């Protein structure tokens, strides 16, 4: 914890109703700000260190795992349940890591593949320069009736955009990739499976803020959580731009958060690394307003010291659980 005793006492005194949830939230917010002020690191760095520590100290090992490594060895995990992180984009809070380099452009391109192209074809992904999904080829050069194919089959993206435009304050703005009917065919069931969207206004200027919550059933945390968070921030920016709303709060809820047994040393290394001071923000810098017209060239990750990160906190190798 990065808070001192005085700051903790101030929080307890402010939460005079002794509501444990209020106290927990206030402590986390204050601790995160103290971390950023002391280290110069990102909000993503804070959540990363906090969660990896919790997994190593409190996690449980699974039995009879479905995934395996490329050499055929069962890929066991150490897990914790119900992890929540929250980023207020209006305050410049960003999930990017400086504990290791993040290939942010590849992350955003995956969002194009799923929600713009609405594809499950590996060839489409290869054309975007991404090949690490190839391990999930079901034999026909697709990942099966999953992800983008599900978005297309149920017209999920267009329904969301239309509903948010026509009924912004409705409470049924959901994209759900967990479609049981699709699971009757082969394929990897989606990990990031549901987004829930809400519009709010500030009551003064009538500015409409678009908030989004991502629900993820399972996260290979050390390998991909920063990638997942950054790509869904990108999706939030795209939807907000299409509708003329202001990107608001991005909340990430992970039901089961794990590291693989071959990632323990990497997790310890990440915990011990020092963040690189930065003010990184992902922005969508374009006059375009059509969701389907945005390209990777419209995105910028500003104030992200990539060269320094590569030199100080170089990339780590992770064996994938397939």
| Sequence-separated contacts (24+) of 192-199 with Cβ below 8 Å | 192/216, 192/228, 192/232, 193/217, 195/232, 195/235, 197/160, 197/164, 197/173, 197/239, 198/171, 198/173, 199/164, 199/168, 199/169, 199/173, 199/245
Q: Residue 280 pLDDT > 80, yes or no?
A: yes
Tokens at 275, concatenated = 């963040």
Which residues are CB-neighbours of 42 under 8 A, at least 6 positions away? 36, 94, 95, 96, 97, 98, 275, 278, 280
**8 Å CB contact between 116 and 294:** yes
E strand or H helix that includes residue 35: helix 20-39
**CATH among 1.20.1300.10, 3.30.572.10, 3.10.129.10, 3.90.1720.10 for 54-312:** 3.30.572.10
pTM: 0.93
Least trusted range by pLDDT, from 26-30, 125-129, 281-285: 26-30
Catalytically active residues are 191
pLDDT tens digits, one per residue of 61-117: 999 999 999 999 999 999 999 999 999 999 999 999 999 999 999 999 999 999 999
Instruction: For tokens 């059933």, name the residue.
Output: 217
Per-domain residue ranges of the chain: 1-39, 54-312
Question: From residue 18, how far is each of 3, 9, 22, 65 by CA, in Å?
Answer: 19, 12, 8, 42
Tokens at 171, concatenated = 């409470």
pLDDT tens digits, one per residue of 212-265: 999 999 999 999 999 999 999 999 999 999 999 999 999 999 999 999 999 999
In 67-172, DSSP assigns E strands to 77-88
How many beta carbons lie within 10 A of that of residue 314, not counting itself? 10
Residues 298 and 287: their CA atoms lie apart, in Å, by 9
């Amino acid at each position: 914890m990065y808070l001192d005793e005085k700051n903790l006492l101030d929080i307890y005194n402010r939460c005079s109703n002794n509501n444990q949830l209020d106290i927990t939230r206030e402590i986390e917010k204050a601790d995160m700000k103290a971390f950023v002020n002391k280290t110069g690191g990102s909000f993503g760095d804070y959540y990363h260190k906090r969660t990896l520590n919790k997994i190593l100290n409190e996690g449980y090992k699974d039995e009879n795992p479905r995934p395996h490594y490329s050499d055929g060895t069962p890929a066991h995990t150490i897990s914790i349940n119900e992890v929540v992180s929250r980023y207020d984009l209006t305050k410049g809070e960003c999930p990017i890591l400086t504990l290791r380099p993040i290939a942010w452009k590849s992350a955003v391109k995956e969002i194009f593949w799923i929600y713009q192209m609405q594809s499950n074809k590996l060839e489409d992904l290869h054309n975007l320069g991404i090949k690490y999904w190839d391990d999930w080829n079901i034999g026909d050069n697709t990942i099966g009736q999953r992800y983008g194919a599900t978005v297309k089959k149920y017209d999920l993206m267009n329904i969301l955009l239309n509903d948010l435009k026509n009924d912004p304050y409705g409470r049924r703005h959901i994209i759900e990739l967990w479609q049981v009917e699709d699971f009757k065919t082969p394929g990897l069931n989606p990990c990031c499976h549901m987004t829930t969207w809400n519009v709010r206004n500030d009551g003064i200027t009538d500015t409409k803020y678009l908030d989004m919550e991502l629900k993820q059933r399972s996260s290979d945390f050390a390998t991909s959580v920063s990638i997942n968070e950054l790509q869904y921030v990108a999706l939030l920016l795209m939807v907000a731009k299409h509708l003329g709303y202001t990107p608001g709060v991005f909340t990430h809820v992970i039901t089961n958060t794990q590291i693989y047994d071959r990632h323990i040393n990497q997790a310890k290394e990440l915990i011990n690394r020092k963040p690189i001071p930065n003010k990184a923000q992902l922005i969508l810098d374009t006059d375009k307003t059509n969701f389907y017209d945005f390209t990777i060239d419209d995105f910028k990750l500003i104030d992200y010291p990539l060269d320094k990160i590569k030199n100080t906190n170089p990339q780590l190798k992770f064996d994938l659980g397939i």
